[in-house]
Amino acid sequence: MSKTITMNIRMDEDTRRKLKEFSGQVGIPATSLVNASIKQMLRNQQVILSTKLEPTPYLEKIIKEAEADYAAGKNITTTHTDEETISFLRSL
């Protein structure tokens, strides 16, 4: 097990409050979020400072397949009641 150290960082109160609130929402301590971010930067040798969400190449592929299936009427099931939906799902 590696030895841990304490590192102090400066940030404004509003950022600190938002980080604490966010870490509570996702259920991960703020320290763990910061450590994970640093490790990811070191592993990838890049810094990403964006909040824009982009799908992974795999997700893009699945979305295209689903759109093609929908356009072709393939792999589409329509139900009109809760009972029909439950019955269909149980039949899978």
Per-residue confidence (pLDDT) for residue 75, from 0 to 100: 87
What's the pTM value of the predicted model, to 2 decimals?
A: 0.49
Same domain? 40 vs 18: yes
Calpha distance 81→88 (Å, rounded)? 11
**Could you tell me the residue range of the domain that residue 63 belongs to?**
57-91
User: Which pLDDT score is estimated for 1?
Assistant: 65
Give the span between the Cα atoms of 43 and 41, in whole angstroms. Answer: 6
In a domain, 50, yes or no: no
- Please check whether residue 25 lies inside any domain of the structure: yes
Q: Is the pLDDT reported for residue 64 higher than 90?
A: yes
